[in-house]
Structure 1
Amino acid sequence: MADSHKLSADYVIVGAGIIGAMLAAKLAKTGASVLMLEAGAHVTRGEIVGRFRNSPRRSDWMSPYPSLDTAPHPIYQPQDNNYLVQAGPYPYKAEYIRMVGGTSWHWAAHAWRNVPGDFKMKSLYGVGVDWPFDYDDLEPYYQEAEEIMGVGGSTHTGSPRSKPFPMGEVAMPYAMKRAQERLAGTFEVVGNTVARNSRNFDGRPPCCGNNSCQPICPIDAQYHGGIAVQQALAAGVKLQTRANVFQLEHDAQGRIVAANYYDPDKNVHRVTGKTFIVASNGIESPRLLLLSKNDKFKNGIANDNDMVGRHLMDHPSTSLTFDAGEDVWLGRGPQSPVSINAMRDGAFRSEYSAYRLDFTNISRVDGATTGLLKAGIYGKEFAEKLRHAAAREMNVKSVLEVLPDPERRIDLADEKDSVGLPKPRAHYSIDDYTFRGHKRAQKDFAKIAELMGGSNLRYTKDDSFANNQHICGTLSMGTDRKISVCDEFGRAWDHENLYFASTGVLPTSSTCNSTLNGIAVALRTGAHLIAANGGPAMLPRSNTLAGFKPLQPLWTPAV
């Protein structure tokens, strides 16, 4: 660990999650000194697995990740700790982890690339904004990230490639194979793109089907931020834990000169450096910038245009649960193995949101048992109904696009957290664009159930939307400094040595989990920083779009 009395580095990175750690490793390999500051503790996989196994709340994916008083994060079960304040009009119940490795400790390892149309929403469809670069500019960095993590998946996803996946696909579970067979000709069911080993890779074993990817892979078959941090430390990066950064300092020219943090005893430590990179998530990063307001920057650091924290986006979901017409037995293999991708792009995006459809493979035993006991069902009837649910129950959910809207935002609440700092506050809504996509997806749900011989259909109640914890938009990059926070390399418009490496920089949500996009953008930022300091040039853009044809839906429901 770093010596807290002599903290200084060429690059000071705030946050030791998967994105910050992968960028830190890349920078350190050039010989530069790199220091990561992490608010949370350094916890081992063994400790997390132990907490999960001993938890009475097996379906609560946050139970192995308690909130520390010195680095609090949102907890909703068994009761809400009220860390993230809700301003409405729609609740935004984000769950994330403040500890070394970050929230990807309990991700599903989805490592989707955007499709080319995602980069040109305004130009192609007249909604949202365009990214400051296109798919082929980012494609080499997608590949770089995939080769570090060990990613495999189907090539039928709408995302062109210049090189093959570094990893073969994990074997498809029986239930998902049956879905693929029964839906063929109407829907193309493909294996998800995941950072999960199908063979020995980088000293880690292949997936053995534990079916606990969320909250923890007990054998490290899937890549996560804890592994990324170990790789960063091996590359020479220094790490200071229990360092809750609450303020960035600047000089008269607006350059950032120091980051101040509280240790667990609330002593203040000052860290100096040449270049500062805020790599916390899309809620904690804008919160830090807003906390850093002063007489010169009255709205906070990087916020002269009042854009920090705005354009909050995620991927709201609704779902359908039904009983299949045959035994399928969910629960062996990864929890989220396959999906339908045909509605990720198309002219319809001018009118309603794009979406993916994800099938769950989570064992139904725990949920069914809880429901039956609550209903007072025991004995022979209990055994029969539990077997039926475990064998037949299936679930498919939508992963819906959200457009950037400045009124959806993260700001500071009047309430203080356990450290005495203002809590983050979420202003969120579901607009008609996303709602219309949800209604379109429900028609797909009904068709899927029909093709699976489904009965006992249970749609999400009252059109309520679940949150997917894909926080983006709050540090949006762009070409117009009036409506964005940073440029195409994540550099703050107002501070020449301040950069962002976070899913917060993503200017649109697209339809895919935000992690790989955030990593690829950060690796591109790293290449820019290295080249600017006399290192190798950035990777050349790809030419994957030559002759590329986007996905076309196989089935269009009647209006």
Structure 2
Amino acid sequence: MDINRKIPADIDKQHYDMVVIGSGFGSSFFLSEALKHTKGRVLIVEWGDYHPWAWQIQNQLNTAIPTAETYANRGDKPWNTTIALGGGMNCWFSQTPRMHPSDFATQSRYGIGHDWPISYDDLEPYYCQAEQIMSIAGDADMHQVLPRSQPFPQPPHKGSSIDEIMKQAMPDRHFIMPTGRARVATGNRSACCANATCNLCPVNAKFTAENGFSELYSHPQVDVCLKTEVRTLESQGGAIRSATLRSDGTEFVVHADLFVLGANAIQSPAILLRSGIEHGDTGRGLHEQVGLDVEVYLNGLGNFDGSTITTGLNYSFYDGDFRRERSACLVYFENRWPHGLRLEPGRWNETLPLMLVTEDLPNPDSRITVDPESGQAIINYAGESEYAERGIQWAFDHLGELLAPLPVESIEARRKRLTESHVQGTLRMGENGDGSVVDANMIHHTMRNLVVVGTSTYPSCSPANPSLTAAALSLRAANLLFS
């Protein structure tokens, strides 16, 4: 992939129309839309380096920067990020369900969490646009739960024999997982080979920054400065005027009219805190989903004949008035064997791995702070909520009812999932004065030339994977800003 590389000395004291901080889903999708509307010069500043797909496969790494070296963690829970050109588009497993309409209004509907300042309907056209860009393979039947105005770009992956039974029994609740892993090969992506190593896809089937946005990073208006960290943003008169960068121990300054902050939900608030920009609950509300790994033994029914890593997605435990008391839960039907195969002769595949993934309530005490001397981001996590624990326990206790169409022999909880690798919150969207940091258009409440993108802006936690929503939000924000 060709990149318009600039070293920090090249851009020192230069002025750009737009400076984009970070290059993950939020930043790259925002820029892809913004470039349709602006003729100005753009600079991407990325802390990490560019690691081609071949390098990642050879080294079995998505980045050369260990995640734990980018922050100080005061707890045991891991928080996974990828510091590299493309950010999470390198490491993601490319599961792409949309958020549920109720996820945007949990306070007004159920009296818990925060409402989003936008609705599902507001975002729906941009969901479609993001799905087109990523050539999402999806199940048309999902419109019964998640209304859609356009069809999926690609047909769904092949479900397993188990999915076929579940879909027949629950046609309005069980669907084939929508995914950024190609079902049909494209000009720059192979078809998924279902080898269960999506973070390091050996056949280049999933959507990545390299195969999806190569024209973005080589665009004649765009300069890319790699291996350079943004330390602070300098403001004057209610606007950001410049950014201070650091590379190899030396500091540089770059000026711009518009700044787009999309580092991640750990580093973005750290940049604002180091800069003394602390409007609302800046840094507070760090959260992600809570997960449980389950294994179901089956009697006479085999599994693992689907065409991708996760085949089924069941919404039976997702939405309802129960969310006043316990969390929503998605049930993921797996086409892999994380717990091993059965040892009984002839029964090796009579097992069904499930992931139970539930929402959590953001806690203001779960927050990002910065070391007063080094400025390093510090993670202070207060733990998951009782609300989430009740939701996941209820889902596990009622799995037998959900799986009634299958010949279930036993159901075993295997392990609590340490992380879903979905770092969210810390710069949430909302109305000015309610503790939020950015408005419905993702513009900072007080610094009106600062757009904040990515999962840091999420006011609440959906059980669904967050990446597609991050992409859609950025497309919407850029479209509204420049239209």
User: TM-score, normalised on structure 1?
Assistant: 0.78
Q: Which amino acid aligns with 1:323?
A: Y
1:337 to 311, 336, 342: 311
1:21 to 28, 39, 45: 28
The Cα of 1:125 is off from its aligned counterpart by 1.1
- The 2-side partners of 1:286 and 1:95 are apart by 16
The Cα of 1:137 is off from its aligned counterpart by 1.1
Aligned to 2:6: 2
- The 2-side partners of 1:96 and 1:103 are apart by 7
CA change 1:322–1:442 in 2 (3 A) is same
Aligned to 1:199: 184
The Cα of 1:202 is off from its aligned counterpart by 4.8
The Cα of 1:82 is off from its aligned counterpart by 9.1
The Cα of 1:164 is off from its aligned counterpart by 1.3
Question: Which shows bigger deviation, 476-485 or 323-332?
Answer: 323-332
Aligned to 1:481: 433
Aligned to 1:287: 270
Aligned sequence identity (%): 24
The Cα of 1:127 is off from its aligned counterpart by 1.2
The Cα of 1:167 is off from its aligned counterpart by 1.6
Aligned to 2:131: 146
Aligned to 1:318: 292
Aligned to 2:358: 400
The C-alpha deviation readout for 1:270-290, integer Å capped at 9, x for no partner, is: 111110011111111111111
Question: Are the equivalent residues in 2 in contact too, given 1:21–1:228 (CA < 8 A)?
Answer: no
Aligned to 1:242: 227
Indicate yes or no: 2:74 matched with 1:117.
no
User: TM-score, normalised on structure 2?
Assistant: 0.90
Question: Are the equivalent residues in 2 in contact too, given 1:331–1:362 (CA < 8 A)?
Answer: no
Question: Are the equivalent residues in 2 in contact too, given 1:330–1:390 (CA < 8 A)?
Answer: no
Aligned to 2:165: 181
Q: Which amino acid aligns with 1:478?
A: G
Question: Are the equivalent residues in 2 in contact too, given 1:211–1:332 (CA < 8 A)?
Answer: no
The Cα of 1:449 is off from its aligned counterpart by 6.0
Q: Which amino acid aligns with 1:217?
A: C
Structure 2, unaligned runs of 5 or more: none
Where 2:478 maps in the other structure, the secondary structure is helix
The C-alpha deviation readout for 1:465-504, integer Å capped at 9, x for no partner, is: 5321222221101013341001111111121111101111
Indicate yes or no: 2:149 matched with 1:162.
yes
2:390 to 430, 436, 450: 436
1:276 to 259, 262, 266: 259
- The 2-side partners of 1:360 and 1:408 are apart by 31
Q: Which amino acid aligns with 1:20?
A: S
Q: Which amino acid aligns with 1:339?
A: L
The C-alpha deviation readout for 1:275-332, integer Å capped at 9, x for no partner, is: 001111111111111122xxxxxxx22x133x11112221110121133223635386
CA change 1:82–1:43 in 2 (3 A) is closer
- The 1-side partners of 2:27 and 2:204 are apart by 20
CA change 1:222–1:66 in 2 (3 A) is closer
Higher strand share: 2
Aligned length: 471
The Cα of 1:245 is off from its aligned counterpart by 1.0
The Cα of 1:47 is off from its aligned counterpart by 0.8
Aligned to 2:77: 92
Where 1:344 maps in the other structure, the secondary structure is coil
Question: Are the equivalent residues in 2 in contact too, given 1:22–1:232 (CA < 8 A)?
Answer: no
2:88 to 94, 103, 110: 103
1:73 to 55, 61, 67: 67
The C-alpha deviation readout for 1:244-265, integer Å capped at 9, x for no partner, is: 11111112x13111111111x2
Aligned to 1:262: 246
Query: What RMSD in Å do the two structures reach over aligned CA positions?
Result: 2.5
Indicate yes or no: 2:465 matched with 1:519.
no
The Cα of 1:139 is off from its aligned counterpart by 1.0
The C-alpha deviation readout for 1:213-237, integer Å capped at 9, x for no partner, is: 1x22222221123334413124442
Question: Are the equivalent residues in 1 in contact too, given 2:310–2:335 (CA < 8 A)?
Answer: yes
- The 1-side partners of 2:7 and 2:393 are apart by 55
Q: Which amino acid aligns with 1:161?
A: R
The Cα of 1:166 is off from its aligned counterpart by 1.6
The C-alpha deviation readout for 1:326-372, integer Å capped at 9, x for no partner, is: 363538632122110122221111111111101222245xx649xxx
The C-alpha deviation readout for 1:66-118, integer Å capped at 9, x for no partner, is: 553xxx523xxxxxx6944124xxx4311111011112322221112122111
Question: Are the equivalent residues in 1 in contact too, given 2:98–2:464 (CA < 8 A)?
Answer: yes
- The 2-side partners of 1:150 and 1:165 are apart by 8
Question: Are the equivalent residues in 2 in contact too, given 1:254–1:495 (CA < 8 A)?
Answer: yes
Question: Are the equivalent residues in 1 in contact too, given 2:7–2:226 (CA < 8 A)?
Answer: no
CA change 1:362–1:220 in 2 (3 A) is same
Where 1:166 maps in the other structure, the secondary structure is coil
Question: Are the equivalent residues in 2 in contact too, given 1:35–1:239 (CA < 8 A)?
Answer: yes
CA change 1:66–1:34 in 2 (3 A) is closer
Aligned to 1:171: 158
Indicate yes or no: 2:214 matched with 1:230.
yes
Where 2:381 maps in the other structure, the secondary structure is strand
- The 2-side partners of 1:231 and 1:439 are apart by 46
The Cα of 1:447 is off from its aligned counterpart by 3.8
